[in-house]
Chains A and B, each alone.
Chain A
């Protein structure tokens, strides 16, 4: 195999939703990310175990600009996938969760006690006319101890595959990275 890294910039990129934080400290607003340069985007929520009933709740938004503009709930989540175990150790399977199209996940009253990886998927074609960006917010999970968590964006079907240093600004494509 000739090059390294061979996945980043070819298969996918990574962008910030919410940097790792104790989700018991308050509600968190996800960063915006453009869908201009990808066919789809996975939203990966990665969380530690907490205490019942401090379950996670997310909200998916679409936006007309990288800052300001108009923001609207994007009710396109009809299914998502999760790995869930008291202690994740790589032997767990993906489980599909289906729901009526919504901008939030289905309430899961046993999610607080588990370590989880949850994957939502948004296609660029699902954005409303005039909308260019999405973001995912993560509600305050409660007050029972600590529950570190984070949200990662994984754009895929990249319209232009580049070496990582030349990948586009995920916030505002066409402008220089900062």
Chain B
């Protein structure tokens, strides 16, 4: 049993923004960049409301050579992801593993309420690349489909009190 409040955050993993909640029917969204220098891997968790028809979510993974500017390239390392989907998620649903040919695009057919989770390990970055990001394509036009994407860095190279966690955009620079 953990002894202290917030015993996991800052010890086992951290949380950082990819795409703040928005309606994915309103257009494509560019995910924020995150450095992989302070961690061994990053879980990408997509939380979405139910959609309609063929309005499926399409996440696209990129790698970058810098926290801003630099060179950006599609990172075709998604071979497996995990999904919980149900008309109304209520905690009794199981994770289902889905495998696919290595790609920078995650392919799913579900328009149900979903959690979709995949991981990127730091060692999967190409030489000279330091950051990743995940974009979400415009999902369509049938009603609304709120969605949110969060990064979960794990295998932290340094475990710290939360206020002292690194700047995930540009490690070594002060948080802003």
Would B1 and A39 count as touching, CB distance under 8 A?
A: yes
A-B CB contacts (within 8 Å), total count: 212
Would B119 and A91 count as touching, CB distance under 8 A?
A: no
Determine the distance from Cα of A19 to Cα of B6 in the docked complex, in whole angstroms. Answer: 23
- What residues of A have a CB within 8 angstroms of the CB of B147 in the complex? 20
Tell me, yes or no, whether B168 is within 8 Å of chain A by CB: yes
The digit string for B17-35, where 1 denotes a CB below 8 A from any CB of A, is 1001111000000001110
Tell me, yes or no, whether A60 is within 8 Å of chain B by CB: no
Would B121 and A1 count as touching, CB distance under 8 A?
A: yes
Q: Is the interface on chain A under 10, 10 to 19, 20 to 34, or 35 or more residues?
A: 35 or more
- What residues of B have a CB within 8 angstroms of the CB of A33 in the complex? 91
Distance (Å) between the CB of B172 and the closest chain A CB?
11
Would B41 and A1 count as touching, CB distance under 8 A?
A: yes
Distance (Å) between the CB of B145 and the closest chain A CB?
8
Q: Is the interface on chain B under 10, 10 to 19, 20 to 34, or 35 or more residues?
A: 35 or more
Would A167 and B94 count as touching, CB distance under 8 A?
A: yes
Would A90 and B168 count as touching, CB distance under 8 A?
A: yes
- What residues of A have a CB within 8 angstroms of the CB of B123 in the complex? 1
Would A47 and B34 count as touching, CB distance under 8 A?
A: no
- What residues of B have a CB within 8 angstroms of the CB of A152 in the complex? 45, 47, 150
Distance (Å) between the CB of B22 and the closest chain A CB?
6
Distance (Å) between the CB of A123 and the closest chain B CB?
7
21 contacts between A and B (CB under 8 A): A4-B80, A6-B121, A8-B95, A11-B8, A11-B12, A19-B50, A19-B89, A20-B21, A33-B91, A42-B6, A89-B32, A90-B17, A94-B10, A115-B17, A148-B23, A149-B21, A150-B21, A150-B146, A157-B1, A157-B2, A171-B92
